[in-house]
Amino acid sequence: MTIHVCPSTIDEIVRRVDARDGVYLIKNATIKALENKDRLRMERLRCVYRLLNDRGLVCYPERPAWPDEWWRFVVYRREILEVDLTRVAKDPALLASFEHVLAALRYPYMHEKAPGTVRLRDALHMLSTAKTEQSEPTRRHLSVA
């Protein structure tokens, strides 16, 4: 049996991510409400994750852990991770946020050193202030001797 997720559900999540500077903390209850379902099954949640990834968004944790309606996960754009490391190194708050994001990428979700979803959302919001400057790309030429 295939699971159908309404395109409007994914569109609404993408809209919320964009409205909050590329980071959004979502509860399973929100998906249940957007889908007009009495229960949220794990298969539907996995399908939502896959469709969000297909739209270029990242979910944390990578895979849903359980369908409890009060369980939360973070949805963010990959571009938020493109930061100016010199700015991050100079600011202790940005550096702490950067370390939280690295821990989330390094450790599995249930690991003791992995940050929780609220902490990761806050760290990603902080990192979004340290965006890299969009400069003209430099061309490098390879010369053969």
- Report pLDDT for 136: 45
Residue among 76, 72, 56 nearest 109 (CA): 72
Provide the residue range defining the domain that includes 11: 7-130
pLDDT digits (tens, 9 = 90+) for 64-99: 877 888 899 999 999 998 888 888 999 999 999 999
pLDDT digits (tens, 9 = 90+) for 44-70: 999 999 999 999 999 999 988 778 888
Domain membership of residue 79 (yes or no) is yes
Domain membership of residue 72 (yes or no) is yes
Q: Are 131 and 83 in contact (CB under 8 A)?
A: yes
CA–CA separation, 32 vs 30, rounded Å? 5
Q: Are 120 and 74 in contact (CB under 8 A)?
A: yes
- Domains in the chain: how many in total? 1
CB contact set of 143 (below 8 Å; sequence gap of 6+): none
Domain membership of residue 55 (yes or no) is yes
Domain membership of residue 121 (yes or no) is yes
Does the structure show a pLDDT above 60 at 141?
Answer: no
Domain membership of residue 85 (yes or no) is yes
CA–CA separation, 41 vs 133, rounded Å? 42
Q: What's the whole-number average pLDDT of the chain?
A: 87
Question: Is pTM, for the whole model, over 0.85?
Answer: no
